[in-house]
Structure 1
Amino acid sequence: MTQKKKETVAVTPEQEARVNDALLLQAQGGDADAARTLFNEKSKRIRPVRFSECNTLEQLKTAFEDYMAQADVTKAESEHAVKAFDRLFKLMVAQEEAEILRGKQLGQVSGLMLVPVASIADWETEAERSQAILKLQARN
Structure 2
Amino acid sequence: MNEEEEKKVLQTLTLRAQGGDADAARILFNEKSKRVRPVRFHECQTLDELKHEFECYMGQPDITKAESEHAAKAFDRLFKLITTRDEQKKKADKDLAQISGLLLVPITDPISWAAMAETSQRTLRDFARQ
TM-score bracket, shorter-length normalisation? 0.7 to 0.9
Q: 2:29 aligns with which of 35, 39, 57?
A: 39
Structure 1 position 113, deviation (Å): 2.6
Report the equivalent of 1:88.
Answer: 78
Report the equivalent of 1:65.
Answer: 55
TM-score (structure 2 length as normaliser): 0.75
CA distance, structure 2, for counterparts of residue 55 and residue 74 of structure 1: 26
Amino acid at match of 1:97: E
Change (3 A) 1:94 1:112: closer
Amino acid at match of 1:75: K
Q: Give the paired residue count.
A: 104
Report the equivalent of 1:120.
Answer: none
Percent of residue pairs identical: 62
| Greater helix proportion | 2
Report the equivalent of 2:64.
Answer: 74
Report the equivalent of 1:12.
Answer: 2
Instruction: Report whether the alignment pairs 1:22 with 2:12.
Output: yes
Instruction: Report whether the alignment pairs 1:102 with 2:102.
Output: no
Change (3 A) 1:17 1:95: same
TM-score (structure 1 length as normaliser): 0.70
Amino acid at match of 2:11: D
Cα RMSD for the two superposed structures: 1.6
Amino acid at match of 1:58: D
Amino acid at match of 1:59: E
Amino acid at match of 1:21: Q
CA distance, structure 1, for counterparts of residue 58 and residue 101 of structure 2: 53
Q: Which has the larger radius of gyration?
A: 2
Q: Which structure 2 segments of 5+ residues have no match? A: 105-130
Change (3 A) 1:71 1:53: same
Change (3 A) 1:63 1:29: same
Report the equivalent of 2:40.
Answer: 50
Amino acid at match of 2:78: L
